[in-house]
Amino acid sequence: MRLSAKLYAELAAWAEEDFRSVNGQIEWLLTECVKQRKKNGRPIPEFRVEEEP
């Protein structure tokens, strides 16, 4: 999976707070998103990490 450096840094910081690896954090996040979509029947609003110029 290709991620921007900024998005990777955000995920890494979040993973550290939750005592997970970055891979584990991504897996958890995707699992939660799929659960939410199944629950609501619609996609979660788009989230973007803005790139710095």
Tens-of-pLDDT digits for all 53 residues of the chain?
899 999 999 999 999 999 999 999 999 999 988 888 887 776 666 666 666 65
pLDDT at 40: 76
pLDDT at 45: 67
pLDDT at 38: 80
**Alpha helices (runs of H) in 1-53, residue ranges in sequence order:** 5-17, 22-40
CA distances from 17 to 7, 10, 13, 25, 42 (A): 16, 11, 6, 10, 29
pTM of this prediction?
0.69
**Rounded to whole angstroms, how far apart are CA atoms 21 and 32?**
16
Distance, C-alpha 7 to centroid of its chain: 8
